[in-house]
Structure 1
């Protein structure tokens, strides 16, 4: 499967030219997975400067964007639990082993759609190939899959399988991604948010987890953009492994986790004085750099620098005497002996396949750091039928209840994906579910 023609680093590139060849293996990987992380790229959002007063307004704005624009790339990483050890294992105590397979799937809407110049600049600045999209993207038509003549299209076939396997879905700030996926690959979005939430809860009954909610509301991280979250969990996982606390090891189909996550912070590099961009540190973007991510900002946008800066501040505070007044140092100054440059890691982000891996990796580490007691599990042999699983291994029930079906909406509270007593599923969804599972 690891043909150089379909591999881009550790990610499988899927398009109309190789989908038929890769589909059986992709289908098997989805069915055998423990959970699936997804990320979407769109041709634009068209909401710059738009103010949304509440969740319903936000939904209506995103729905309008999905109707006029299109899904152009879907990233998907399937994480499968392989085995785990307890404290009696001297080499890898308290370690959970996962296998991860990442895909970047080009998708092309066969109808006319809008493209925002800012989206083009942003995506091309991070390596997206629009020529390849228009020449060999998986074509699809919007609309109800139960009525569409495009029901056998590759793109819809993929989404139907995602629904059929009933796996937990992991996203990062995924409200918009899910709206675009629904509109482009499933059915026209319902008129009301409550109906959309009811449909989602039934499309993905094993639960949706949002790592931006995890980072902001549970972990209380200083920032919650994906690159920062993944790198922070990467650092936490390394620290846990060094102290024999629960940690994970990822086996990739090709390459290593460092290819996607960058080097682990060790504090052993040469001394350097770095100026941190405070806007990028808080939000994950910088106005001076423009939409392409390449501009005139003179300060560091390196996430490793940011994490090192935060660690340095913590060490300084811990060494400060209790009765000594707190001294404010410059928020953007890093003077440390552990500067690591990982520009290659930074440049890879914002590509759907890689972002889906970063999302799933963050969630896998989080689930182990907040685990119940690790117990040995019997892994099914290759000759046995693999049953669909809906449980996140090890994640404690209390944390699971707090986070399942919560999508990031704003900094105040997450959006709950549920079917309330006052809402009904949409007719299109009910028709599609019957078609997907009964084939009628």
Structure 2
């Protein structure tokens, strides 16, 4: 069973960069895989991100990477450690599955580009809504420059050197919907991004020798959930790990001193999913939740109305709705099977078990509906447990057709978005490693997804590889040779 309800995140900025450096490097070198996430000053015209031609899409993102900047970098390092319990755990179906345990260290690194860059109002509004502190970024961001290395740059304590350390670690890199982040990392912290996409992909294949994994691609093309945006997939995996539906994941964290000023904690405990009693009808409850939940946010993780949306963006309610809809479909399938087995008419009032895997500890939906407002996260101003706002819920009579949003309706709001997003990405990857890994060595079970990057609107991935028609860029070839040479010493 998943064994955590909050995670520590180390806030790294100009004032503590030097003292945080040894811990950062040790975490990177010890990791079995590393998850990354970026917060950016803008993404340019949305139509370029969705261009039909992948080459046109690349050119549009490349131009954004040259003119926009990275505001914060999230790094979450997952180090495999020996499971303190047992190697095999029994899930709710009685199957023996491999449990995995990781020591996780997560960092949120505040950056400040030293060159002029474009800032988009929509991006700023989004970040402010999620608690990003621009005053802190401008006063304490770690400076960096874009493009190629400068000849007089000998500072080993820099975010550009941090990317070099990631390359030298020879560890799988994990992102969620990672094309934009990879292109921004390259242009902002590595070298001038190539004009040709094939050259860029060839460069990437030499930078990260153990491969790049995109959890959005795996979710859409293998794991197949109702939605695939980051928060949804994370909370879905968290629920399924907690209930025993998926292979067991256990996490360990360092015990930071209470006096540590640069460590904050993010609350992310899984809320139990509601379970209907055997003969309860779920149609009414589905209808109530449909009236409560924002349909656009539920499907895509985004709503044009933002915090002004009158409906709920509470992911727990969204997952509850999905669970009940899946239950309804399961009942229909079971009725159909029963009809096929028996030529006689089937009693309309036949009772069927809604959730064959539910335990006695799970709540019924009526109990859940009466208590959802108490279970939903409340707004608190607490450094150790940052605010985690939620929906007010459905009232006890289950007659409510509206659910007013709190000031911020997004469950995972807060100033450490890049760091926490990196952790969520890593947790999803750990879940997939445990689910698909037959040999116990992580990467083998997901080898078919190695170096395949999600492409929005396409039924195929972007493959990170060096083709027979593409050469690596001159800047990359010179730089990677220096990196490999220095790592050999």
Shorter-chain-normalised TM-score: which range? 0.7 to 0.9
Gaps of 5+ in 2: 1-5, 257-264, 277-283, 340-345, 347-364, 379-387, 389-410
1:71 pairs with 2:70? yes
1:307 pairs with 2:319? yes
Task: State whether residues 34 and 81 of structure 1, in contact with CA within 8 Å, keep that contact through their aligned partners in structure 2.
Answer: yes
Question: Structure 1, residues 17-66: CA drift from partner, whole Å, max 9, x if none?
Answer: 10111111111111011100000111111123445122111110011001
- Compared CA separation, residues 154 and 144, structure 1 to 2 (3 A): same
CA RMSD of aligned residues (A): 2.7
State the alpha-carbon separation in 2 of the partners of residues 254 and 267 from structure 1: 33
Task: State whether residues 168 and 483 of structure 2, in contact with CA within 8 Å, keep that contact through their aligned partners in structure 1.
Answer: yes
1:248-287 matches, cutoff 5 A: 248-253=249-254, 259-267=266-274, 273-274=288-289, 275-287=292-304
Which residue, 431, 434, 449 being the options, matches 1:365? 431
Gaps of 5+ in 1: 1-7, 325-334, 375-392
1:401 pairs with 2:400? no
State the alpha-carbon separation in 1 of the partners of residues 148 and 128 from structure 2: 31
Which residue, 30, 41, 44 being the options, matches 1:43? 41
Q: What is the match of residue 56 of structure 1?
A: 55
State the alpha-carbon separation in 1 of the partners of residues 481 and 420 from structure 2: 33
Q: What is the match of residue 378 of structure 1?
A: none
Which residue, 205, 214, 217 being the options, matches 1:213? 217
State the alpha-carbon separation in 2 of the partners of residues 57 and 128 from structure 1: 31
1:152-163 matches, cutoff 5 A: 152=156, 154-163=158-167
Task: State whether residues 230 and 261 of structure 1, in contact with CA within 8 Å, keep that contact through their aligned partners in structure 2.
Answer: no
Q: What is the match of residue 247 of structure 1?
A: 248
User: SS at the partner of 1:347?
Assistant: coil
User: SS at the partner of 2:468?
Assistant: coil
1:128-207 matches, cutoff 5 A: 128-145=132-149, 147=151, 149=153, 152=156, 154-207=158-211
State the alpha-carbon separation in 2 of the partners of residues 174 and 305 from structure 1: 27
Paired positions, count: 391
- Compared CA separation, residues 220 and 315, structure 1 to 2 (3 A): same
State the alpha-carbon separation in 2 of the partners of residues 208 and 195 from structure 1: 16
Out of 260-269 and 65-74, give the one that drifted further: 260-269
User: SS at the partner of 1:434?
Assistant: helix
- Compared CA separation, residues 52 and 254, structure 1 to 2 (3 A): farther
User: SS at the partner of 1:194?
Assistant: helix
Which residue, 25, 28, 33 being the options, matches 1:27? 25
Which residue, 98, 101, 106 being the options, matches 1:97? 101
- Compared CA separation, residues 186 and 268, structure 1 to 2 (3 A): same
State the alpha-carbon separation in 2 of the partners of residues 314 and 185 from structure 1: 44
Task: State whether residues 260 and 354 of structure 1, in contact with CA within 8 Å, keep that contact through their aligned partners in structure 2.
Answer: no
Task: State whether residues 39 and 177 of structure 1, in contact with CA within 8 Å, keep that contact through their aligned partners in structure 2.
Answer: yes
TM-score (norm 2): 0.74
Deviation at 1:336, TM superposition (A): 5.9
Task: State whether residues 268 and 337 of structure 1, in contact with CA within 8 Å, keep that contact through their aligned partners in structure 2.
Answer: no
1:341 pairs with 2:376? yes
| Structure 1 segments (4+ residues) deviating >6 Å | none
Task: State whether residues 147 and 193 of structure 2, in contact with CA within 8 Å, keep that contact through their aligned partners in structure 1.
Answer: no
User: SS at the partner of 2:413?
Assistant: helix
Q: Which protein is bigger by CA-based radius of gyration?
A: 2
State the alpha-carbon separation in 2 of the partners of residues 351 and 86 from structure 1: 33
TM-score (norm 1): 0.82
Out of 128-137 and 170-179, give the one that drifted further: 128-137
Deviation at 1:261, TM superposition (A): 2.9
User: SS at the partner of 2:82?
Assistant: strand
User: SS at the partner of 1:299?
Assistant: coil
State the alpha-carbon separation in 2 of the partners of residues 145 and 191 from structure 1: 18
